[in-house]
C-alpha cells in the first residue's frame, strides 16, 4: 500500500512509522468504514418507523504489517511488542494521497505477531479502538487572531505626500474560518494577557462566552468548545461566566464561521490563539 503512510504517536510521544523503514503496510481496514448509528422507534399509526436520532460511534482500525526481510524478524518482533501496549493511548496519523489526518485517543484492542517460519518475514496484525469516530485534520489552525504584523521601523524616511503603515493587524477582531469537514468542529481559544484586561469576551456565531474577571499580564484564559469549559491559569473559571454566555457558537458548523474577541478594557493587550480540527468520516 504505497499510497498510505501510517505513523503511531504514543501518549509518551514515542513514534512508530510504516512504509518508510523496515516494515511495510500490507492492509488497513476501518479507514473508510464509519460506524453510523441511526435510532428509531415503531410508529404508533401507519407504516414505517420514526427516526429519533443519529450518531457516529467508535470503530475498529485494523492494520497488517510485514517485515521487509526475514533477517529483521527478531528485532522487529521485540520492537512491535514493546511499542504497542494496552496502557498507552495512540494518535494514529494516516497520510493518503498527500492528505494527512489522524485518529485521536486510540487504544490497542489486539496484537498478533506469530513467528511461524524464521526464514520468512514476519507479519503482525494490530487492532485499535478509535473512540472519536471521526478522523481529525492534522492542521489545527493555531493562529493569533489578535496578531500585529510589523510594517516599518525607525529611522524611517517617507516621500512627501505618501502615507505610512506602522503596523497592521494580521486578522481583524472578527475573522471568518472555513470548516470543510464532514461534521461540526470544536473550537478552543487561548487568550493571553499582555497587560490589564477586564472582562474578556469571545464571540462566535450568534453567541458569546464572556468571563467576568480582570486578567493581569501573563494570565492565560482557555475557552474550550468541546468540553464547554473555561479555565484561568489552569483553574476552573466557570463560576466567572457571564450568565448570558453560550458555547453554541464555539462549535463550528460546516461552512464559514465567524469568531472574534473583545473586552471591556484592554482588548488591544490580548493574544488570542484559535485552534480547531476539522472532522472527517474517512481518511
| pLDDT 10s digits, 198-235 | 999 999 988 899 999 999 999 999 999 999 999 999 99
Average pLDDT of the residues in 25-33: 96
Distance CA 66, CA 114 (A): 11
DSSP 183-244: B-EEEEEEEEESS-EEEEEEEETTEEEEB--EEPTT-EEEEETTTTEEEETTEE-GGGB-TT
Q: Which has more confidence, 43 or 152?
A: 43
Q: What nine digits make up the cell of 170?
A: 494580521
Q: What is the band of 20 on the pLDDT scale with cuts at 50, 70, 90?
A: low
pLDDT of residue 172: 53
Kindly tell me if the per-residue pLDDT of 161 is higher than 90: no
pLDDT of residue 163: 47
Distance CA 281, CA 135 (A): 6
- Taken as a whole, the chain contains a residue count of 283
Q: What nine digits make up the cell of 92?
A: 494514529
pLDDT of residue 170: 53
Kindly tell me if the per-residue pLDDT of 150 is higher than 80: no
Average pLDDT of the residues in 149-174: 48
Distance CA 131, CA 30 (A): 13
- Tens of pLDDT, residues 82-93: 999 999 999 999
Q: Which has more confidence, 157 or 201?
A: 201
pLDDT of residue 249: 85
pLDDT of residue 173: 66
Q: Which has more confidence, 45 or 154?
A: 45
DSSP 30-95: STT--EEEEEEEE-SSSSSEEEEEEEEE-EEEEEEEEES-GGGHHHHHHHHHHH--TTSEEEEEEE
Q: Which has more confidence, 64 or 165?
A: 64
What's the DSSP call for residue 81?
A: H
- The answer to whether the CB of 191 falls within 8 A of the CB of 261 is yes
pLDDT of residue 147: 81
Hey, what domains does the chain have and what are their CATH numbers?
A: 4-135 (2.40.30.200), 141-280 (2.60.120.860)
Q: What nine digits make up the cell of 74?
A: 527478531
Q: What is the band of 192 on the pLDDT scale with cuts at 50, 70, 90?
A: very high
Amino acid at each position: 500500500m504505497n499510497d498510505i503512510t501510517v505513523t503511531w504517536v504514543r501518549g509518551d510521544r514515542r513514534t512508530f512509522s510504516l512504509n518508510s523503514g523496515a516494515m511495510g503496510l500490507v492492509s488497513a481496514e476501518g479507514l473508510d468504514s464509519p460506524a453510523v448509528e441511526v435510532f428509531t422507534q415503531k410508529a404508533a399509526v401507519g407504516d414505517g418507523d420514526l427516526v429519533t436520532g443519529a450518531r457516529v460511534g467508535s470503530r475498529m482500525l485494523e492494520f497488517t504489517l510485514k517485515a521487509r526481510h526475514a533477517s529483521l524478524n527478531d528485532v522487529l518482533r521485540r520492537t512491535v511488542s514493546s511499542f504497542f501496549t494496552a496502557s498507552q493511548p495512540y494518535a494514529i496519523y494516516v497520510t493518503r494521497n498527500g492528505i494527512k489526518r489522524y485518529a485521536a485517543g486510540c487504544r490497542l484492542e489486539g496484537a498478533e505477531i506469530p513467528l511461524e517460519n524464521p526464514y520468512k518475514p514476519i507479519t503482525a496484525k494490530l487492532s485499535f479502538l478509535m473512540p472519536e469516530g471521526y478522523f481529525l485534520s492534522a492542521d489545527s489552525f493555531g493562529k493569533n487572531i489578535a496578531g500585529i504584523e510589523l510594517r516599518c521601523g525607525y529611522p524611517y524616511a517617507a516621500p512627501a505626500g505618501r502615507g505610512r503603515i506602522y503596523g497592521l493587524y494580521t486578522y481583524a477582531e472578527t475573522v471568518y474560518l472555513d470548516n470543510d469537514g464532514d461534521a461540526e468542529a470544536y473550537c478552543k481559544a487561548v487568550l493571553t494577557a499582555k497587560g490589564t484586561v477586564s472582562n474578556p469576551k469571545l464571540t462566535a456565531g450568534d453567541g458569546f462566552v464572556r468571563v467576568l474577571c480582570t486578567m493581569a499580564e501573563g494570565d492565560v484564559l482557555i475557552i474550550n468548545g468541546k468540553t464547554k469549559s473555561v479555565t484561568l491559569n489552569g483553574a476552573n473559571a466557570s463560576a466567572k461566566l457571564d450568565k448570558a454566555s453560550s458555547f453554541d457558537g464555539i462549535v463550528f458548523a460546516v461552512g464559514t464561521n465567524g469568531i472574534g474577541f473583545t473586552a471591556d478594557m484592554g482588548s488591544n493587550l490580548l493574544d488570542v490563539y484559535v485552534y480547531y480540527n476539522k472532522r472527517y468520516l474517512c481518511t
